[in-house]
Amino acid sequence: MVADKDAKQGLTIPDEVKEKHPKLIELIIGSESMNDEERQYWINILPIMTPDQVENLNSILVNEKKQLAAIDKKYSKEIEQMGEAHLIKKMEEERRTRRETRSTEEEKAEEKEEAYSDKILEEISEL
């Protein structure tokens, strides 16, 4: 058994695994939810997996690919519809709103803290 090194990913893929599961290997290599270590793990255990386990892994990876494609499609449509400049403006407005909200909350917390400190100092001075 000769193992090929997939140069792009740095993965070692045995020829028999490549021949037996070419589509699954492609899905594993293309998965965005795995790092190379996880990819190598799945490639290494493929020969000892049951047919049901192989089918489950295949289903999971196909589903992931479909969901990511749907998300990409949705956002590419939104970007086209809104225009990139409008999208950037919207993101800046959201960030500004979050900063203002956070700033307001921090001010309230500081006022509350100051009032509490004043109360404690007053109690101490009454002793």
CA distance 2 to 14: 6
Handedness of CA 74, 76, 77, 83 (dihedral sign): positive
The count of structural domains within the chain is 2
- Same domain (yes/no): 5, 15: yes
Both 94 and 32 in one domain: the answer is no
Q: Tell me the Cα Rg of the chain.
A: 28
* Tokens matching residue 67: 């969901």
> Distance (Å, rounded) from C-alpha 57 to C-alpha 53?
6
pLDDT-derived band at 5 (thresholds 50, 70, 90) equals low
Domain limits for position 74: 1-82
pLDDT above 90 covers what percent of the chain? 42
pTM: 0.55
Q: Report DSSP state, residue 35.
A: -
